[in-house]
Amino acid sequence: MDLQAIWFLLITILFTGFFILEGFDYGVGILLPFLGKKDKERRMILNAIGPFWDGNEVWIITAGGAIFAAFPEWYATLFSGFYLALALMLFALIFRAVGFEFRSKEERPAWRKTWDWLIFAGSLIPALLWGVAIANLLRGLPIDENFTYVGTFWDLLNPYSLLNGLAFLAIFTLHGAIFLSLKVEGKIMERAVATAKRFWLPALVLVLAAGGVGFFGTDMFNRLGALAVVFPLIAGLGVLAAGLYLRRGQFGSAFIGTVIGIAFTTITLFRGLYPRVMVSSLNPEWSLTITNASSSEYTLKVMSIVALIFVPIVLLYQGWTYWTFRKRIREDTPLEY
């Protein structure tokens, strides 16, 4: 493999890790106003992800930095074409982050309720928009011969991308509900389990529907070759297994099922895109690839050395964080958020 392929693989891994980790964060935020009936319960829900949510976002910051440095043409076209969508996502994430820090600083119910709904919106909007964005990379966008996006914001909102957005939203919500079943005790756990059981079938149907539309509406599966069956099958079996383990009360195994489902869905999408990074709907020859969007070989070599040094450090630190805060949140647990 050359350095361009290696960096595309690394970006795929970063997005996979981001969707797995930030996926349950989004799911918990979406469920916050519904599973927490009292302020104490909502605080318990927030403390379930409190030590993790900002660390989980490092994955997408790293992925964005990797795209900027390794494939600057991809970065430029992506951020110009998705400018309004990314700005909307950024504002949602800002309100979400501020909500975590501010909602318990004031005891007034109206204050806390407002921030709870902002955390909800700040989790739902990115979950939906990530599915829309990834679908558009595969479906194709109006990109001209200069690698310039010549469409509008509304070109991003097509039936396939919206279906993909709903699939992301559903699987992240399921993922978050199962995570809560592992992290909290009492009535919140019972509600989380009940919610996960209700969301499992809609999530499975939406994931399969998005895959089916992608089969006919993109060339993704043609490029997968022999893996056209293997990767999507593993993803579907992961979500299916999550539902079966939920019914048996094996929540750890159910969580592994959604992890597998999210991981292999992401791998399928990026493998179907390769070696392109953005598809042009105007002319296939105008598509951005790992070759024509790449930095120089020297830049890729320097970045590879930096990545070999710092990526293991980040992984060790984040692993330590999850180990340190592995215990369940109970009603007598001191609450920070």
Ordered by start, the domain boundaries in the chain are 3-199+273-324
Distance CA 278, CA 142 (A): 10
DSSP output for 44-72: HHHHHHTTTHHHHTHHHHHHHHHHHHH-H
CA 66 to chain centre: 17
Q: Which pLDDT score, from 0 to 100, does residue 332 have?
A: 79
Q: Which pLDDT score, from 0 to 100, does residue 1 have?
A: 57
What pairs with residue 141 in β-bridges? 280
Answering whether pTM is above 0.75, one says yes
Q: Which pLDDT score, from 0 to 100, does residue 217 have?
A: 81
Distance CA 61, CA 238 (A): 27
Q: Which pLDDT score, from 0 to 100, does residue 310 have?
A: 86
**Do residues 14 and 70 make contact, with C-beta atoms less than 8 angstroms apart?**
no
CA 160 to chain centre: 18
How crowded is residue 9: how many other Cβ atoms within 10 Å of its Cβ?
Answer: 15
How crowded is residue 197: how many other Cβ atoms within 10 Å of its Cβ?
Answer: 17
Distance CA 139, CA 155 (A): 11
162, burial (CB in 10 Å: exposed 0-12, middle 13-18, buried 19+): middle
Question: If you compute the radius of gyration of the chain from its CA atoms, what whole number of angstroms results?
Answer: 20
Q: Which pLDDT score, from 0 to 100, does residue 105 have?
A: 87
| Average pLDDT of adjacent 10-residue blocks, the chain of 337 residues | 89 94 94 92 92 89 91 92 90 93 89 94 95 91 91 88 94 96 91 93 91 84 73 90 93 95 92 91 91 91 90 89 89 79
**Residues with Cβ within 8 Å of residue 296, at least 6 apart in sequence:** none
| pLDDT tens digits, one per residue of 303-312 | 999 888 888 9
How many degrees, rounded to 5, is the angle at CA 150 between CA 164 and CA 207? 5
What average pLDDT does the chain have? Answer: 91
